[in-house]
Amino acid sequence: MLTELESLSQNIGKLIAISQRHNEARLALEEQLALARASVQTAHAELAELREERDTLQAERDALSAKIDDAQVRLNAILEKLPRARASSEPDSQLDLLEAAQPEGEEAESDVSRHGENA
């Protein structure tokens, strides 16, 4: 009977050792789980921050797009108020009128007198 008690005592000792290893393994896994949950929470917080930043950028983009559209409408309205291009037979600008009015000889003299004035 003494041997049976010793055998039971050894088996109980082995069960206690196994139980302690399982308990230590469980605690280690719980710690890993807590770290993983903290990591997930951090990732969720970063994701929420990035989504907020994305939404802000989208709102800015939409506002800028609306401003561009408004400016385009105003520009088109201004362009419509400007006089239309003249026919090819009409002079395009007042400078063309001045050049047509000066003969070629006078044009050379005016260039010489301009150089003299600038000197």
Q: What is the pLDDT of residues 45-97, one digit of tens each?
A: 999 999 999 999 999 999 999 999 999 999 999 999 988 866 555 555 566 65
From CA 20, how far away is CA 95, in angstroms rounded? 102
Task: Assess if residue 41 is contained within a domain.
Answer: yes
- Of 53, 99, 78, 69, the C-alpha closest to 110 is 99
Task: Assess if residue 23 is contained within a domain.
Answer: yes
Task: Assess if residue 22 is contained within a domain.
Answer: yes
pLDDT value at position 41?
98
pLDDT value at position 83?
87
Task: Assess if residue 50 is contained within a domain.
Answer: yes
Helices then strands (H, E): number in the chain?
3, 0
Q: What is the mean pLDDT of the chain?
A: 84
100's CB contacts (< 8 A; 6+ apart) are 91
Provide the CA 102 distance to its chain's centre, in angstroms.
58
What average pLDDT score do residues 24-31 get? 98
From CA 9, how far away is CA 1, in angstroms rounded? 12
**Where residue 2 falls among pLDDT bands split at 50, 70, 90?**
confident
Q: What is the DSSP letter of 88?
A: T
Task: Assess if residue 110 is contained within a domain.
Answer: no
Which residue segment(s) compose the domain that 43 sits in?
1-81
Q: State the total domains in the chain.
A: 1
